[in-house]
Amino acid sequence: MEYDPTLPWYRRLHWQVLSAMILGLGVGWAFGLPAANAIGWIGELFMKLLRMIIVPLVLTSIVSGVASVGGGRAIGRLFGKTMGYYVLSSMLAALTGLLMVNLIRPGQNADMGAAAQQEVPELSTPDSAVDLILDIVPNNFFAAASAGDMLAIIFFCIVFGAAITGLPEKPRVVVTDIFNAFFQAMMALTSGIIKFLPIGVFALITKMVGETGFDRFAALAKYFATIGSGLTIHLFITMPLLLIVLGRIKPLVHFANLREPLLTAFSTSSSGATLPVTIKTLREKVGVSNKVSSFVLPMGATVNMDGTAIFECAGALFIAQVLGVDLTIGQQAIVVLTALLASIGAAAVPSAGVVVIFIVLNAIGLGDNPEAITIVGAMLAIDRPLDMYRTAVNVFSDSCGAAIIARSEGEEGVDTEVRH
Ligand code: ASP
């Protein structure tokens, strides 16, 4: 969308989305469950529209992006920078979680009985590093694509894009042009769907508020404060510092350009469903090339989850505190590392972070503890607001990574101004 300074505020998408959020909050609060039941399906429909475009969008974006990188060396460099950024930002996030748990000590005197319990769903995450590697390579690309298996899809697209760069000129230009054209078509479709963002957000927020009883949150106020302050520090201190130091980017400009993905992440609680909005924004508002955004964003949505890393670390230590288990420094270091692994293993869908917390609990011998399982159930019951916030942090970190790496690749137009 071209910037039009004469457009009144109420026709600007982010104001529409923000107003829809406030309206949803009011309607959900005033009419409760009946409103959630009546309107909830519209939110689900919107989520389906977003999910519908993820696989073809990621496929065309990565293949056309990687094919334009030009040769194996350049691809290797981009890959190295991307991995380096993921590890750095997620590690800082997990350490922030560790710090906040030790400062606030939310597990002391927590009243777990007052938080409703919920069945904990089966854990379907690879539990060893070898499994993770085997899972990345698909047996059959089409089966992976139809199952929405993101890491396998991404792997295939990167090697396919790399293969294109080695072709003789004629076929290389033909295939690259075809994927570029399909990518543009997918972006046009994405733009069409994003026009419905305010309606989708209104329905999602109405459903969330209408279905949630707020009394049970009070008992776990300190737990909320711990995770919430960890997320806030990461979002408003650590990330801006990384933007300034590594990318020479003004954080306020980046925040302003990121309004729509942040609001979408907040409303959908899914980095995956937000991905189309993230890709569009990074290209059109932040000004990152397809080469970099196609590399950093789809993979980031799947593996780079800073908000989730904070949650895994602080959440597992919270459980240990409630159970009165004292952890040594060595054990706390294990928690930080496994929190990082768990955040990589978490799927980009709502509440995935709660389920994978067992990876961390297993590492400190609490995975089979019945009381720990009950606490995880309570955490799941009240997870939605925290999930909204950590998903926004997850998406923000991916966007910062893309902007920083684009700057390091010499892209000058990144975040030079706020683009509407
Ligand atoms: N909902 C988060 C996301 O999609 C994952 C989580 O539950 O931590 O990014």
* 110-127 tens-digit pLDDT: 666 655 555 665 555 556
Position 215 scores a pLDDT of 65
Q: Read off the tokens for 122.
A: 């089966």
Q: How far is the CA of 340 from the centre of ligand 1 (A)?
A: 14
| Alpha-carbon distances of 108 from 104, 148, 187, 194, 375, rounded to whole Å | 9, 41, 50, 44, 14
Q: What percent of the chain has pLDDT over 90?
A: 47
Is the Cβ atom of 306 under 6 angstroms away from ligand 1? no
Is the Cβ atom of 345 under 6 angstroms away from ligand 1? no
Q: How far is the CA of 356 from the centre of ligand 1 (A)?
A: 11
Residue 178 has pLDDT above 90, yes or no: yes
Position 411 scores a pLDDT of 93
Is the Cβ atom of 304 under 6 angstroms away from ligand 1? no
Q: Please, what is the average pLDDT of the chain?
A: 87
Position 5 scores a pLDDT of 62
Specify the ligand 1 atom closest to the Cα of 394.
Answer: 9
- As a whole number, mean pLDDT of residues 374-393 equals 88
Position 1 scores a pLDDT of 42
Q: Looking at 105-119, 181-195, 283-297, which range is the least confident one?
A: 105-119
- Ligand 1: residue whose CA is nearest its atom 8: 353
Q: Read off the tokens for 207.
A: 């459903």
Among 268, 394, 396, residue to substitute to test ligand 1 (most atoms within 8 Å of Cβ): 394
DSSP 118: -
pLDDT level of residue 33 (50, 70, 90 thresholds)? confident
CA gap 176, 167 in Å, rounded: 11
Residue 270 has pLDDT above 80, yes or no: yes
Task: Check: CB of residue 311 under 8 Å from CB of residue 360.
Answer: no
Q: Looking at 124-133, 151-160, 231-240, 265-274, which range is the least confident one?
A: 124-133
Q: Looking at 235-239, 317-321, 352-356, which range is the least confident one?
A: 352-356
Residue 36 has pLDDT above 60, yes or no: yes
Position 349 scores a pLDDT of 85
Is the Cβ atom of 379 under 6 angstroms away from ligand 1? no
CA gap 341, 368 in Å, rounded: 19
Q: CA Rg, the chain, in Å?
A: 21
Task: Check: CB of residue 35 under 8 Å from CB of residue 210.
Answer: yes
- As a whole number, mean pLDDT of residues 200-213 equals 84
Is the Cβ atom of 268 under 6 angstroms away from ligand 1? no
Is the Cβ atom of 346 under 6 angstroms away from ligand 1? yes
Domains and CATH numbers, the chain: 15-408 (1.10.3860.10)
Is the Cβ atom of 348 under 6 angstroms away from ligand 1? yes
Q: How far is the CA of 174 from the centre of ligand 1 (A)?
A: 38
Which range among 26-35, 69-78, 86-95 has the greatest average pLDDT? 86-95
Position 126 scores a pLDDT of 54
Is the Cβ atom of 383 under 6 angstroms away from ligand 1? no
Tally of CB atoms within 10 A around 8: 7
CA gap 36, 31 in Å, rounded: 8
Which range among 19-23, 36-40, 264-268, 403-407 has the greatest average pLDDT? 403-407
Alpha helices in 234-369 (DSSP H): 239-247, 251-257, 259-268, 271-281, 290-303, 306-322, 329-345, 352-355, 357-363
Helix (H) or strand (E) holding 288: none
Position 230 scores a pLDDT of 97
Residue 169 has pLDDT above 60, yes or no: yes
Position 134 scores a pLDDT of 81
- As a whole number, mean pLDDT of residues 169-173 equals 92
Which range among 146-150, 206-210, 216-220, 221-225 has the greatest average pLDDT? 221-225
Q: Read off the tokens for 71.
A: 């040769």
